[in-house]
């Protein structure tokens, strides 16, 4: 299990930052769900606190063994990942919500395979790319890593879940970058993907997804009662918070239920309304500190496997943070990506805290133990 000497290298600041963001999340979720269909104003609070407890236990489990043991299981993990993602299309296992099939029902609990797939792909893709890094010299050599990421990404896109599918693009780029694939190739990949992928993607989108993009591209034509309702209410909430905010549990957009999905997709709007610019900036600084600590562990890792995994985790968090916060202030299209550790959701929280556990695992084992 644990060797006490490993804790000499334990990154306590990263753990403290993670817990602090999680506690802020519970406070915001409590405020955002005082009025809910269950009749219990603390229903979502209690569930999120339970997810936090289970997540911390899961993190301890991840810390208990060397991360290289996980990498040795990368092939079985990849297969399990695809099977788990495919389970959402099996009628007696799948549970639908919001017009999409994203959950697998296991009786007492519903899990969202797409959330866990993010971490699974970080692990499997990191090992896949590192083992072939010396063979990547041109764009043709990038095809295998792209295909590796495309299979789970495609299954998620079919649910449909465009936002989560796009996270895999960020993960792919993060893995390639921290594996030190030539920047020229990454530039070609990003440029080619933008020129070919974006126009092609338009024809694959559902109507509501196209409408979200139209609202984003034409902000001056937002219909506050139509497709632009979510965005309009979000901007009102954040703008009305001013510098210092209205106070915790005092957000009118939130309390009067004008703000849709206030405890999930638009949770940052609640932060802005109730804590104002100062509070929102503080939360963003916490995320900056979180990503910095992860990148520091990546830099200090004893091998490239640790560096790439930590770098990809940091990329994943940064992408989700940018998209979630960006969509609440109309600089990103509405995609439904959760804000890490703050948005309500068991699968999302568990995946995020386990990812932090894996990063801490890498940091703990960055030096040989001296007796």
Domain segments of the chain as ranges: 4-364
pLDDT tier at 370, thresholds 50, 70, 90: very low
The number of residues making up the chain comes to: 371
Share of residues in the chain with pLDDT > 90 (%): 56
pLDDT tier at 19, thresholds 50, 70, 90: very high
- Residue pLDDT, tens place only, 294-352: 999 999 998 999 999 999 999 999 999 999 999 888 888 878 789 999 999 999 999 99
Share of residues in the chain with pLDDT > 70 (%): 89
Q: Alpha-carbon distance 38 to 29, whole Å?
A: 15
In this predicted structure, the answer to whether residue 1 has a pLDDT above a threshold of 60 is no
pLDDT for the residue numbered 110: 81
Please name the residue ranges forming H helices in the chain. Answer: 12-32, 43-63, 67-71, 74-86, 113-132, 143-157, 162-178, 183-192, 198-202, 207-217, 229-241, 252-255, 267-300, 304-328, 346-364
Average pLDDT over the chain, rounded to whole? Answer: 87
- Residue pLDDT, tens place only, 221-267: 555 555 667 777 888 888 888 999 888 888 877 666 777 777 888 89
Instruction: Please give the structure tokens belonging to residue 285.
Output: 């600084």
pLDDT for the residue numbered 369: 41
Q: Alpha-carbon distance 104 to 231, whole Å?
A: 29
Q: 343, 263 in Cβ contact below 8 A?
A: yes
**38 vs 43, 102, 195, CA distance in Å?**
7, 22, 47
Which has more pLDDT, 62 or 229? 62
Kindly report the pTM of this predicted structure: 0.92
- Residue pLDDT, tens place only, 119-141: 999 999 999 999 998 888 889 99
In this predicted structure, the answer to whether residue 211 has a pLDDT above a threshold of 90 is no
pLDDT for the residue numbered 371: 36
């Amino acid at each position: 299990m644990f060797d006490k000497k490993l804790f000499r290298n334990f990154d306590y600041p990263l753990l403290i930052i993670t817990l602090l963001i999680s506690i802020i999340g519970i406070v915001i979720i409590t405020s955002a769900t005082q009025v809910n269909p269950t009749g219990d104003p603390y229903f979502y609070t209690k569930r999120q606190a339970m997810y936090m407890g289970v997540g911390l236990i899961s993190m301890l489990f991840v810390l208990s063994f060397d991360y290289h043991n996980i990498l040795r299981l990368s092939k079985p993990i990849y297969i399990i990942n695809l099977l788990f993602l495919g389970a959402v299309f099996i009628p007696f296992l799948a549970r639908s919500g919001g017009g999409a099939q994203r959950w697998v029902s296991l009786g007492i609990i519903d899990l969202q395979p797409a959330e866990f797939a993010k971490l699974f792909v970080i692990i499997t893709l990191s090992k896949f790319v590192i083992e072939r890094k010396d063979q990547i010299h041109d764009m043709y050599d990038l095809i295998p890593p792209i295909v590796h990421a495309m299979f789970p990404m495609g299954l998620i896109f079919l649910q449909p879940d465009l936002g989560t599918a796009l996270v895999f693009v960020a993960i792919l780029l993060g893995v390639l970058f921290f594996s030190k694939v030539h920047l020229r190739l990454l530039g070609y990949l990003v440029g080619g993907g933008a020129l070919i992928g974006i126009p092609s993607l338009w024809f694959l989108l559902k109507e509501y997804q196209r409408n979200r993009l139209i609202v984003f591209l034409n902000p001056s034509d937002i219909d506050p009662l139509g497709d632009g309702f979510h965005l309009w209410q979000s901007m009102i909430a954040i703008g009305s918070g001013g510098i210092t905010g209205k106070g915790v549990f005092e957000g009118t957009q939130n309390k009067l239920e004008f703000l849709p999905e206030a405890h999930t997709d638009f949770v940052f709007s609640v932060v802005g309304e109730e804590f104002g610019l100062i509070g929102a900036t503080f939360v963003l600084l916490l995320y900056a500190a979180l990503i910095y600590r992860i990148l520091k562990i990546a830099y200090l890792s004893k091998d490239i496997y640790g560096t790439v995994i930590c770098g990809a985790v940091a990329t994943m968090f940064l992408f989700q943070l940018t998209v979630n916060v960006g969509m609440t202030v109309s600089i990103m299209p509405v995609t439904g990506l959760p804000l890490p550790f703050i948005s309500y959701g068991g699968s999302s929280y568990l995946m995020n805290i386990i990812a932090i556990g894996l990063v801490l695992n890498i940091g703990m084992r960055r030096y040989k133990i001296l007796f």
